[in-house]
């Protein structure tokens, strides 16, 4: 797996005003509570989900010339996915159409079971739509992260459908030729994933509202520092940081002077 792990620099170099972060989080919490009220005329679509995500929107001055296929992985003080208490649904997509396929669904399942790898579903590419529908409808499960080999990444978003894009699910490369599947999966689950697009704006899932505000703020700061410390140009290339929920307005927390 070729994701890049970003380590945030010490906070005493920070350009972040903690008051701005806390002010924005307080406003988003109030907005969420008002929209989640059953008496509201326009309730949230997922108002019964206490784990609504907090998103960080980063706007850069210039798009960085780096690999846009794989995300930056920024370690979170408080991971979004708990692999012990409430294991998430994680999906591995196997390319059974490739002429040089060496890993089958059967061999993948054996490895996952023998090494206790936190993958819950393995699906063949040829049966992706039918198998996903079965999992979602019959079993009532929706995957948090999809893992696949690099060559599949460009075609999978279209195959996974509009719901995958709208819910901002994560699609991450896994190197199946490497023996350390478990390490790769755990690193992703414990990090924020920053997908740098072809433009200057990216959206990053950083926290859950069900966390305490202190924990959310610590995650936000860690990701802001991690992004600014990893992109070409560092802080000089950061124009804006905003915080938002899925259906809320974006509130500013940092602006380059």
φ/ψ of 52, rounded to 5, equals -60, 140
Region of 108 on the Ramachandran plot (φ > 0 left; ψ -120 to 50 alpha; else beta): alpha
Q: What is the rounded CA–CA span in Å between residue 105 and residue 157? A: 21
How confident is the model at residue 14, as a pLDDT?
66
Spatial CB neighbours of 30, under 8 Å, sequence gap ≥ 6: none
The pLDDT profile of the chain, 257 residues, written as one tens digit per residue, is 455 565 544 443 568 999 999 999 999 999 998 887 766 555 444 444 446 899 999 999 998 876 666 788 999 999 999 888 788 899 999 998 776 677 899 999 999 999 999 999 999 999 988 888 888 777 777 888 999 998 898 888 888 877 777 676 788 999 999 889 999 999 999 999 998 777 899 999 999 988 999 999 999 999 999 999 988 899 999 999 999 998 899 999 999 98
CB atoms near residue 222 (< 10 Å): 23
Q: Supply the pLDDT for residue 3.
A: 57
Q: Which domains does the chain have, with CATH numbers?
A: 4-80+191-255 (3.30.190.20), 90-189 (3.40.50)
Taking Cα atoms as reference points, which of 168, 179, 180 lies closest to residue 143? 168
- Candidates 70, 62, 69; CA nearest to 4 is 70
Q: What pLDDT is attached to residue 11?
A: 40
Total length of the chain: 257
Is-contact 190 213, C-beta < 8 A?
no
Instruction: Give the contacts of 190 (CB within 8 A, at least 6 positions apart).
Output: 75, 76, 79, 81
Q: Which of 80, 102, 100 is nearest to 90 (CA)?
A: 80
Quote the pTM value.
0.81
């Amino acid at each position: 797996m070729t994701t890049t792990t970003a380590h945030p620099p010490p906070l005493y170099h920070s350009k972040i005003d903690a008051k701005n972060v806390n002010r924005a989080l307080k406003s988003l919490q109030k907005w969420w509570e008002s929209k989640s009220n059953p008496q509201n005329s326009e309730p949230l679509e997922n108002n019964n989900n206490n784990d609504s995500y907090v998103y960080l929107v980063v706007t850069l001055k210039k798009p960085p010339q780096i690999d846009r296929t794989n995300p930056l992985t920024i370690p979170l003080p408080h991971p979004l996915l708990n692999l012990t208490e409430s294991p998430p649904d994680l999906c591995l997509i196997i390319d059974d159409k490739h002429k040089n396929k060496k890993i089958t669904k059967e061999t993948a399942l054996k490895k996952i079971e023998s090494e206790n790898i936190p993958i819950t579903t393995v699906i063949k590419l040829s049966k992706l739509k039918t198998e996903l529908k079965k999992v979602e409808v019959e079993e009532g499960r929706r995957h948090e992260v999809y893992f696949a080999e690099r060559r599949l990444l460009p075609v999978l978003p279209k195959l996974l459908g509009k719901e995958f894009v709208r819910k901002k699910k994560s699609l991450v490369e896994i190197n199946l030729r490497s023996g350390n599947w478990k390490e790769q999966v755990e690193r992703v689950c414990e990090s924020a994933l920053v997908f740098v697009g072809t433009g200057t704006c990216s959206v990053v899932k950083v926290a859950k509202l069900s966390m305490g505000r202190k924990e959310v703020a610590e995650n936000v700061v860690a990701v802001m520092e991690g992004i600014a410390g990893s992109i070409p140009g560092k802080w000089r290339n950061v124009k804006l940081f905003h915080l938002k929920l899925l259906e809320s307005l974006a509130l500013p927390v940092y602006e380059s002077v």
